[in-house]
């Protein structure tokens, strides 16, 4: 299995593709990430890729894996990423 791209490799690839300076690409990616973090509570859509959404998880019962003892897992909020259909189709087509 090949390794995923590093942040620097992504910046280089986008800079080459667009002809923009790498420093500008880095600033754009950082701004994009900050905006996604701020707006995730309202859901944040990345067109053609997917959507960040905030989800409430209910309280539930689980087990301590070492002792097998039942434990109560409290309710909490989690961030999920839902993949867009266009992304699934493009990635899984071949």
Q: What is the pLDDT of residues 9-48, one digit of tens each?
A: 999 999 999 999 999 999 999 999 999 999 988 999 999 9
Rounded Cα distance, 82 and 37, in Å: 15
Is the torsion defined by CA of 9, 11, 14, 16 positive or negative? Answer: negative
Q: Where are the domains of the chain?
A: 1-39, 43-94
Q: Rounded to two decimals, what is the model's pTM?
A: 0.74
CATH topology for 43-94 is HU Protein; Chain A (4.10.520)
Q: Which of 14, 55, 5, 9 is nearest to 32 (CA)?
A: 14
């Amino acid at each position: 299995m090949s390794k995923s791209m590093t942040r620097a490799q992504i910046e280089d690839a986008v800079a080459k593709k667009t002809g923009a300076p790498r420093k500008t690409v880095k600033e754009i990616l950082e701004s994009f990430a900050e905006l996604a973090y701020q707006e995730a509570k309202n859901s944040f859509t990345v067109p053609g890729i997917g959507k960040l959404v905030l989800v409430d998880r209910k309280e539930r019962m689980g087990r301590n894996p070492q002792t097998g003892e039942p434990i109560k897992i409290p309710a909490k909020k989690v961030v999920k990423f839902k993949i867009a259909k266009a992304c699934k189709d493009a990635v899984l087509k071949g």
